Amino acid sequence: MKRSLALPAIALAAVAGLAACDVGGTGASQSTPSAQQVAAGAQLSGEITFWHAYSAGGGEIDALEKTLIPAFEKLHPGVKVNSVQVPSDQMHQKLITATAAGSLPDVFRADIVAVPEFAKLGVLAPLSDTMPDFQDWAGKMYPGPLATNKYQGKYWGLPLDTNTRVVIYNQAALTAQGISAPPKTLDDLKSLAAKPGSGKYIFAEGGSGGWNLLPFIWSNGGDMTNADVTKASGYLNSPKTVEAIQLLVDLYNNKQLPSNILGGTGTMQTSDGLAKGVYDTIVDGPWTFPGLTKSYPDFKPATEPMFSGSGGSISVVGGEDIVMTQQSKNKALAAEFIRYMLSPDAQQAMGKVGQLSAESAQATAMASYAPYYQPYLDQLKTARPRPATSQWAKVDDIFTKQVQLAFQGKATVKQALDDAAAQIDPLLAQG
C-alpha cells in the first residue's frame, strides 16, 4: 500500500506548465466542459481509453474485458473502450510520462493516495463539476472511500473498489495460551501482551507507515493532521497520538511485539505467523483470506473490528478510485463509462473476483460472494482515508522514519513526533 510518488526531474518541468495554468490552485480548469448526463442506451459515439492495473491472475481482466466492456459497448452501439493494463508498480511513472507528453487516457483507475497529486497537477477533471449527477453517485458510497476523492473542496473521482483492515485472529493459539478471546480494545492489547509464552506474541504488525499505524492513532482519539490537512503540529504530536505510538513502542521494548513492525526481511510474515500460532492476532485486509486458504487449508481464521479506544474502532481505507482526465476529448463517453463501472452489474461482477464495492447498497451482494467480506464491510462504516495531500508520499516517509527512531530507542516518541510534525507542516502548506 505504500509507494513512492516522487516525480522525475524531466516530468517535473513538463507538469509544472500544467499547474501554472491552474486558476485558484486546485488544478481544475475554470472552463471544464460539462459531460451531459446520458441515459443507458442513448447514442454515443467515438472511443475512449481506460488504464488500469487489474490483475490477470485474479480473474479481474477477464471480468473487465470479456464481460463488462462488451456489455457497455452493446448498450452503446458504435462506441469503443480500449482497455490497457499497466502493472501497478509502473502506473504512476506511466501517468507522469503521459502527462508530459499529452497522451493520457480518458479514464484511469487511480490508487487513492495519488488522486490529490494528479488533481494538483491539473491532470484530472473534477467529477463534482463535470458530472451533473455526481451527487447521486456520491450518495451511494461509504464516507471513507468517497473522501479519498476530495481535495481542495472538489471531488476528482469516485470509489471504484475499496478495502480496509480488521483484526484477524487464531482462536486455537489463544486457547492454547489460556486466553479465551482476542483483545478487543487497545487496553486489552496492552494487558494481554505478556500472556503468550516465549517466542509467541499476542499481536504482530507488518510495518510502521501511515497505512499500518493510523488505525491505532485514530482509535486512540489522535490524528495526523487537522481536518483541512494543512497542519500536523498539534495533531501528530498531540497527547493522544503520542499515547497510541507509545503503546506499540512499549510492547516492542518489552519484547511483546515482533520486529515486523520495522519492516524489512528476516521475520516471519504476519499471515504465516498467524496461521502457525506464533502471532495470535494481526490487522490486515481481505486479500489475506485467499492466501491463508491456499497455504493453510486447515486453518480457520476469525475476525474482530479494529482494536477500539477512546476514538472508537477506526481503520484505514484502501482501494482505487476511477477518474477522468482533462485531456479526454470525449468526456461524455468517459462519464458514461464511469457510471457503468459503478453500476450494480459492474460492481457485482468485480465483487465476484475480489474487488470489494464501496457502495453501501452492494454490501449484501458482496457478503454473499465471500463470507469474510462482511467484517470489512462493517469496518468501512467508520474507516478513514489517509490525509488527502499531494505530498502524501513524502509525508508518509517522514512519519515512518521518525516513528522507527522511537522503536529503535534513538528518540522518545514525543521527540520523534515533534520532529515529524515540524518536517511535515511545510509539505502540507504546498497542498
DSSP notation for 98-114: HHHHT---SEEEEEGGG
Q: Which residues are registered as beta bridge partners of 161?
A: 320
Residue 300, in any domain of the structure: yes
- Nearest-10 Cα torsion for 331, 337, 341, 343: 100
pLDDT attached to residue 28: 41
Is residue 12 a part of any domain in this protein? no
What per-residue confidence (pLDDT) applies to 264?
74
Q: Rounded mean pLDDT of 9-25?
A: 38
Cβ atoms within 10 Å of 362's Cβ, excluding its own: 18
Q: What is the pLDDT of residue 37?
A: 53
Domain presence at residue 371:
yes
Write down the pTM of the prediction: 0.90
Q: Do 170 and 200 share a structural domain?
A: yes
267 and 323 housed in the same domain: no
Give the whole-angstrom CA distance, residue 284 versus residue 166: 6
The reply to whether 8 falls in a domain is no
Domain contains 36: no
Q: Could you tell me if 355 and 399 lie in one domain?
A: no
- pLDDT, one tens digit per residue, over 123-170 is 999 999 999 999 999 999 999 999 999 999 999 999 999 999 999 999
Length of the chain (residues): 431
Same domain, 159 and 188: no
Same domain, 197 and 223: yes
User: Are 73 and 80 within 8 A, CB to CB?
Assistant: yes
Residue-by-residue DSSP string for 250-269? HHHHTT-S-GGGG-SSSS--
N-to-C CA span, the chain? 21
Q: Is residue 19 part of a domain?
A: no
1 pLDDT higher than 50: no
- Reported as a single tens digit per residue, the pLDDT across 320-347 is 999 999 999 999 999 999 999 999 999 9
The whole domain housing 123 covers 42-163+318-379
Do both 174 and 261 map to the same domain?
yes
Residues 201 and 350 in one domain: no
Residue 34 is predicted with a pLDDT of 52
Indicate whether 131 belongs to any domain.
yes
In this structure, the answer to whether residues 236 and 184 fall within a common structural domain is: yes
- State whether 70 and 138 are in the same domain: yes
**CATH number of the domain to which 411 belongs:** 3.40.190.10
Domains of the chain: total: 2
Query: 124 near 115, Cβ under 8 Å?
Result: yes
Confidence of residue 269 (pLDDT cuts 50, 70, 90): very high
Q: Does the residue 291 lie in any domain?
A: yes
Q: Are residues 188 and 157 in the same domain?
A: no
Range with lowest mean pLDDT among 16-25, 26-35, 104-113, 192-201: 16-25
Please give the pLDDT value at position 263: 87
Residue 189 shares a structural domain with residue 179? yes
**What is the three-class DSSP state of 198?**
coil
Do 213 and 240 reside in the same domain of the chain?
A: yes
